[in-house]
Amino acid sequence: MSAIRFDDRVAIVTGSGGGLGREHALELARRGAKVVINDLGGSLDGTGDNSDAAMAVVEEIKAMGGQAIANGSSVADEAGVEKMIADTMQEFGRIDVIIANAGILRDKSFSKMTVQDIDLVLAVHLRGSFLPVHAAWNIMKEQNYGRIVVTTSSTGLYGNFGQANYGAGKLGVVGMMNSLKIEGAKNNIKINAVCPIAATRMTEGLMPQAMLDNLKPEYVTPGVMNLVKEDAPTGMILSAGAGAFSMAQIVETNGAFVGQGEALTAEAVAAKWDEITDTATQTHFDSGAGHGGNIFARLQEAAAKA
């Protein structure tokens, strides 16, 4: 199997001053990419800013003979993101890879969560994924090349206590991915999502140390390299942690046709509930059209039996 390389490619990794983002950036550099280290340098809850972390990663990359620049823009700030894209183009002349990794936490039970807690987390995780990708989209279209990774979470896919804001943002980026995989196809722009579990400052204190020791951030990065390589998939959710990888999908049961007009009542739906929720056959659709097709297939089956 040939080595995965990124020679002459330019990558932006947000939130790459530490944790997962740092590992992604370093590995891209080891494999030949020129890397933009974006990190606001704020605290875990998104307050403050400091460029030291980003500069330290840049120095690591330069020490290994690579090329990198630091950028301290907030991914939630439109002007800051525009500057990040402009600085990248001025320095390197193209943008091939974006890994949207930046994140903060404002964990609280829903009854105690403030509107500010909601807005700040959605701004960084959802808006902070949209803005860099949107700002670079036409550049990638003109190049007929782009590789994008957004970072989702098991909280977004499955839920977690005290993280309604975080989960909403993390599932939101999957919705963005599902549409952009379709829009980007004709211009060789591929977009995927990684669902990592790793020992970072966002997970410290949530797990025992013995478990954290198995969850090194660098154990996620090899999977991410496969999501941004030349022959990457598109529209995939890759779960990654502790050196293990799996694919997550949204699936739908075949369901059942219940009726129309007077025959369609709440009680009629209840009578068909077991058939509606039967998981014996489940399908993953590549677009919203597949979902609609599934509904109309049940209608056609019922018409054929009539």
The pLDDT tens digits for 194-241 are 999 987 655 555 667 777 788 999 999 999 999 999 999 999 999 999
What pLDDT is stored for residue 207 in this prediction?
65
Looking at residue 298, the DSSP 8-state letter turns out to be H
- Concerning whether 166 is annotated as a catalytic residue, the answer is yes
Domain endpoint, select from 230, 248, 266? 248
**CATH at residue 32:** 3.40.50.720
| Predicted pLDDT of residue 193 | 98
Is the same domain home to 44 and 63? yes
Same domain (yes/no): 172, 25: yes
pLDDT in the model for residue 5: 98
Q: How many domains does the chain have?
A: 2
Greatest CA span in the chain, whole angstroms?
74
**In this structure, are residues 165 and 118 in contact, taking their beta carbons and an 8 Å threshold?**
yes
Q: Are 156 and 109 in contact (CB under 8 A)?
A: no
Domain co-membership, 297 together with 173: no
Annotated active-site residue in 145, 158, 166, 219: 166
Mean model confidence pLDDT for the chain: 94
Tell me the β-bridge partners of 302: none
Residues 154 and 264 in one domain: no
| Cα atoms in the Cβ-side hemisphere of radius 13 Å centred on 113 | 18
Picking from 199, 227, 248, the residue at the C-terminal end of a domain is 248
| Angular region, 172: left φ>0, alpha ψ -120 to 50, beta rest | alpha
- Residue 129 contacts residue 139 (beta carbons within 8 Å): no
Q: Do 232 and 266 belong together in one domain?
A: no
What are the b/e assignments for 20-31, b being 16+ CB within 10 Å? bbbbbbbbbbeb
**What is the domain extent for residue 174?**
10-248
Distance (Å, whole) CA 132 – CA 78: 9
CA 159 to mean position of chain CA atoms: 16
Q: pLDDT confidence of 265, banded at 50, 70, 90?
A: very high
What is the mean predicted confidence (pLDDT) over 156-175?
97
Instruction: Say what the pTM is.
Output: 0.93
Q: What are the angstrom distances between the C-alpha of 84 and each of 33, 95, 149, 215?
A: 17, 11, 17, 31
